[in-house]
Amino acid sequence: MKNNNLKYTKFAILFLIFAGSFSSCEREDINPDDFRLVKTLYYAKSTSPTPTDGIEYLYDQEGNMVKESYIKYSPTSIYMYREYEYSGNKKMKMKIFDVKNENFILTKIIDYVYDNNDHLIREEIFNSSGIFMCSMNYEYKGSNMIREYFYEPDYGISDEVKYTFDSQNRLIQEEFETVNVKENKYIKHIYDDNDRKSHIKYYNPNWDLIRTVEIIYNGRSKLPVKDLHFDNNEIQTSEYQHYYDRKGNLIETRLVDGCSLFKRKYDGGLLIEEILYFGKERNCGEDEVTRYEYEKI
Alpha carbon separation from 24 to 21, 30, 199, 221, 272 (Å, rounded): 9, 14, 33, 22, 15
Whole-angstrom Cα distance, residue 280 to residue 44? 19
Whole-angstrom Cα distance, residue 110 to residue 127? 9
pLDDT tens-digit profile of 147-195?
999 999 999 999 999 999 999 999 999 999 876 677 779 999 999 999 9
Q: Which domain holds residue 110?
A: 4-295
Q: What is the DSSP letter of 12?
A: H
Whole-angstrom Cα distance, residue 290 to residue 69? 16
- Provide the Cα torsion 121, 4, 127, 153; round to 10°: -70
pLDDT tens-digit profile of 134-149?
999 999 999 999 999 9
Within the chain, residue ranges assigned H as helices are: 4-13
pLDDT tens-digit profile of 26-50?
566 678 889 999 999 999 999 999 9
Whole-angstrom Cα distance, residue 147 to residue 161? 6
Question: In the chain, how many domains are there?
Answer: 1
Query: Is this structure's pTM higher than 0.85?
Result: no
- If DSSP codes are grouped into helix, strand and coil, which group holds residue 127? strand
pLDDT tens-digit profile of 76-93?
999 999 999 999 899 999
21 CB burial (10 A radius; 0-12, 13-18, 19+): buried
Q: Which of 230, 250, 226 is nearest to 240 (CA)?
A: 226
Whole-angstrom Cα distance, residue 169 to residue 144? 7
pLDDT band at 25 (very low <50, low <70, confident <90, very high): low
